[in-house]
Structure 1
Amino acid sequence: MTEIHTPRLVLRRWHEDDLVPMGEINADPEVMRWIDDGSVLTPDQTAEAIERWEEDWDEEGFGLFAVELLASGELAGFAGLSVPEYLPEVLPAVEIGWRLGQPFWGQGYASEAAHAALEFALQDRGIERVISISRPGNEASENVMRKLGMVPERVTTHPVHGFPLHVHAIDLSEFDA
């Protein structure tokens, strides 16, 4: 089982008892504001998403980690890797992403979890290049990307919703573990 410990977090595979707290995160309109079209997810959609994330681990050898606070055991959200199939023009690619509940914002957890996931991608899984995709205005996520050492690569358009997307990238030679 893949598990990563940082000073304050545990990045791990998903457990059945993660469904309720992840469902609460996905049901928060402020959390989901920058995700896809901004729609919140139902508990059933969250369950399906977690199932897909676990399947990605089995198929790809990487995926989205559940992010748990080391001190309390609370689920803060997720961080990890996926293939951005919704944006064919960047493929083949591996994307790093994160989503945390509001109580966990502004404390550096997203940067800490994303750095651990990026290190896992580049050093453990041998992925030589990782991208991250954001919507213009999502300053919090773009700040995490900068902290990771990612640089803007291109601006494109979401193929379904038509809004602009910023694509950032980093490769193994640029990563500072």
Structure 2
Amino acid sequence: MTDPIFHLTTPHLFIGYFDANNPIHCTFLVTLYNIPEFIASEGKTAIISPEATRERIATRFIEEHARNGYGQLLVYLRSDSDPSFSAAMPIGSVCLTKGNNPDSFDGPDVGFALISEVHGRGYATETAHALLEYGKKEQGLENYFGFTSPGNAASMRVMKKLGMVDLGVQPF
């Protein structure tokens, strides 16, 4: 089980766990995973209803946190008028993911997705940077990877700002 109180704070954002029992989290993830930018980058997913989302959070997200100590997190935009966590609005997700087989990379992959309305404001860089710093300080992680589609220039810019090196297109 994930700690319901855990969250990271940045100047503009809160980052916390998804809760399978929170209808706002489930509805938001359906929206996020079905915006054109997400589908273009990641492909169509099975997340098409709050019920499917509940299942994904309760199994895959929770299992990954239990296995690795990190995984998918929900990103909230902090309110200018009310700095409390309860007033923040969900705007995306950020994650560190690592496979569980012997052929997996030796470090986690950082990923992020934000709703279209907040693109271009630096929030992807801010949230990914906060998560990478947390991983270094709290999890002892040293190596990270960032995979992007060749045409995803926005994600490539974020990866560069995070200090990652472009190794070109790699075969799978």
Question: Please, what TM-score do these two structures have when normalized by structure 2?
Answer: 0.81
**Which position in structure 2 is the counterpart of 1:42?**
48
2:98 corresponds to? 83
2:29 maps to: 22
Structure 2 residues not aligned, in runs of 5+: 80-86
Matched residues in 2 for 1:125 and 1:90: separation? 18
Counterpart for residue 6 of structure 1: 10
Going from structure 1 to structure 2, the CA distance change for 1:100 and 1:7 (only over 3 Å counts) comes to same
Distance 1:28 1:85 in 2: 29
Structure that is richer in strand per residue: 1
**Alpha-carbon distance change, 45 to 134 in structure 1, aligned in 2, over 3 angstroms:** farther
Q: Does 1:144 align with 2:162?
A: no
Equivalent position SS for 2:41: coil
Map of 1:97-108 to 2, 5 A cutoff? 97-108=111-122
2:67 to 59, 69, 75: 59
Aligned residues: 155
8 Å contact from structure 1 (residues 34, 138) kept in 2: yes
SS, match of residue 167 in structure 2: strand
* SS of residue matched to 1:42: coil
Question: Match of 2:82?
Answer: none
Question: What is the aligned-residue RMSD (CA, Å)?
Answer: 2.0
- State the Cα distance separating 1:89 from its structure 2 match: 5.6
Q: Percent identity?
A: 29
Contact 1:84 1:95 (8 Å CA) reproduced: no
SS in 2 for 1:135: coil
Q: Deviations over 1:125-171 (max 9, x none)?
A: 1011011101101001000001101112353124xxxxxxxxxxxxx
Name 1:169's counterpart in structure 2: none
* Counterparts of 1:85 and 1:153, CA distance in 2: 23
Q: What is residue 121 of structure 1 aligned with on the other side?
A: 135
Distance (whole Å) between structure 2 residues aligned to residue 132 and residue 89 of structure 1? 17
Equivalence for 2:107:
93
Q: Which runs of 4+ in 1 moved over 4 A?
A: none
Q: Which ranges of structure 1 fall in alignment gaps of 5 or more residues?
A: 159-177
Superposed CA offset, 1:61-114 (max 9, x none): 11121101111521111112111569x865233111101111121111111000
C-alpha change, 1:106 and 1:85, in structure 2 (3 Å) is: farther
